[in-house]
Every structure is written in C-alpha cells, then in structure tokens.
Structure 1
Amino acid sequence: MRATDWCLSSAGAAVVLATSSDEQHPAENMADGSSETFWTTTGMFPQEFIIGFPECVTISKVSIQCYLVRTLRIERSVSKDPVDFEQCIEKDLKHTEGELQMEEFPLPDSQATYLRFIIKSGFDHFVSVHRVMAEGTAGHT
C-alpha cells in the first residue's frame, strides 16, 4: 500500500489551531503542498500548531520545511478531540543561513488523529513553517 501524505488539505487534513495569525501568511499555507507559501509566527515563543487528520492514521515519518526554527517538539494524540497529547520527539535543528531547513523525523507505526508541533525557540524573533508532511497509511495497523 502506498503511503499518503496526511498533512495535505487535499487528503482531508486541517490546521485546527495555530498560536499566531498573519493575514498574509495563514496557517492553512502549511497544508497546501507548496514550499512557496508559509505560516509565520508573530512574537514570543513557544509557538504551536495542531494538524488534524480525517481519521486515525498510522504515521511512519514526519517531515518539515521551516526557517529559523531552533527547537521543535512533535506530539501526537489519538483522541477524537485535540487533547491528551504525548511527546514523540524533540530536536534542536541546525541553522541554515538563507535556505529552508528540511528535517525528517522517523515515527515508526505511530497512530495519530492529531499532531501538535511546538516551536520552543527560534534563531530569530520570527520563524516560518512552509510545509509539513506526515507519511503513513489509513487506519490502525
């Protein structure tokens, strides 16, 4: 079975919460499949966003394209509401001057209805998230 990118709005994903809001760069940009559009934070850290899936999915890997993110934590929930998150991974990202950070996080057989991304710190006051991908398959394993 081919893995699906569950973070695409075309796959039914939705950004159900984002702590920053910028009319020019809304949170929905993270789920549109394009690296050209992005969500930007406004102000202090931590910042977070939650992506909800249309059903419980089994995720094998999460990837993120972002800029100026220093510390990122990813949590998952299998609840029908975005509550009861448990930590999957936390990582300090490398600073890449003038280009997007591309990070992959293997999450073997992680079940999730929601993923929460917490940007704990940045290399600047503002960071951007261009694209988030969660590869996996529908349903329970």
Structure 2
Amino acid sequence: MARVLMATSYDEQFPADNILSQPTREFWMSTGVYPQEILIQLTPAKSVRSIRFVSTKVRQIVVEGSEGPHLGNFVKIGETEIGDSRDLQRETVEINSTKVFQYVKFVIASGWNDFVSIHSLRFE
C-alpha cells in the first residue's frame, strides 16, 4: 500500500492523493514552479522495479528512494525524459536498485508547460 505524505503544490480541487486513485480523470496538478515533488510512503517497505505513471506536459522525472523508517538519506534510483505530447503521457521509470524502500520521492524536474498533472502512479 502507498500513501502520499506531501506534495510541493496544493490545490483542493486537484489533491496529490488523486495520483493513487482510479480512474485517471482525477489527478494532481502542479502550481507551475520546478522542481515539483511528491513524497510517498510505502507500507510495508518494498523493493520497487519500476514506476508506471500517467501525466500531462511532464518533461523530466527523477525518482529518489529512502530505505530506513525515518525520512532522509534519499538516493537517486531512476529517471526518465519524456517527449512533448498533446495526449496523456503513459510512461515507466525503471528503478536501478534492488533495495527495499520505505519512502519514494517522485520529482518532476521540468515540464513542457508551466503546469503539469499526474493522473496515476503505480509501483511494480
């Protein structure tokens, strides 16, 4: 199970919790400054092979993980660049680690527009 602990942007109409729900018509929207971060707690801690997500106007994603029960000591475990599209972006970030993570930071380093949205996020 995963839960959103924090996001750098907040809009009550588009809360960060939407990224973990179905369907993709509910989403989280940024407020237009980069980088944007979403902090997720994995309960129980688990090994993550990849993260599948649906977004709009995202350009660069960096994923960081933290092993321990306390926040801190995040290390980069994956990243991807995404081309511009008028449609929903359906992408996967491959994770370059076999470690078990309690916390994952999903960092939107840049976008193709001032605002981006994340419609879903799944850990595999």
Q: TM-score range by the shorter chain?
A: over 0.9
Describe the SS at the equivalent of 1:109. coil
The reply to whether residue 104 of structure 1 matches residue 82 of structure 2 is no
State the partner residue of 1:5.
none
How big is the shift at 1:110?
Answer: 3.9
| Uncovered stretches (5+) of structure 1, i.e. residues with no partner | 1-10, 136-141
Q: 2:99, 2:118 → 1: CA distance?
A: 22
SS of residue paired to 2:18: helix
The match for 2:46 among 50, 57, 67 is 57
Aligned pairs for 1:33-112 within 5 A: 33-97=22-86, 99-107=87-95, 109-112=98-101
Per the TM alignment, residue 27 of structure 1 is displaced from its structure 2 partner at its CA by 0.4
8 A Cα contact 1:76 1:114, kept in partner: yes
- Give the Å deviation of 1:43: 2.4
Q: C-alpha distance in 2, partners of 1:116/1:48?
A: 7
Contact 2:80 2:93 in 1 (8 A): no
Q: In the TM superposition, what is the alpha-carbon distance from 1:41 to its structure 2 partner?
A: 0.3
Normalised by the length of structure 1, the TM-score is 0.82
Aligned partners of 1:54 and 1:113 also within 8 Å: yes
Return the alpha-carbon distance in structure 2 between the equivalents of residues 15 and 51 of structure 1.
5
- The Cα shift of 1:14 comes to 1.0
**C-alpha contact 1:43 1:126 (8 A) present in aligned 2:** yes
Distance 1:94 1:82 in 2: 32
Letter matched to residue 111 of structure 1: V
The TM-score, its normalising length taken from structure 2, stands at 0.92
AA partner of residue 84 (structure 2)? H
When the two structures are aligned, how many residues end up with a matched partner? 123
Q: Is this contact kept in 2: 1:60–1:110, CA < 8 A?
A: no
Rg: which structure is higher?
Answer: 1
* SS of structure 1 residue aligned to 2:17: helix
Q: Which moved more, 1:108-117 or 1:48-57?
A: 108-117
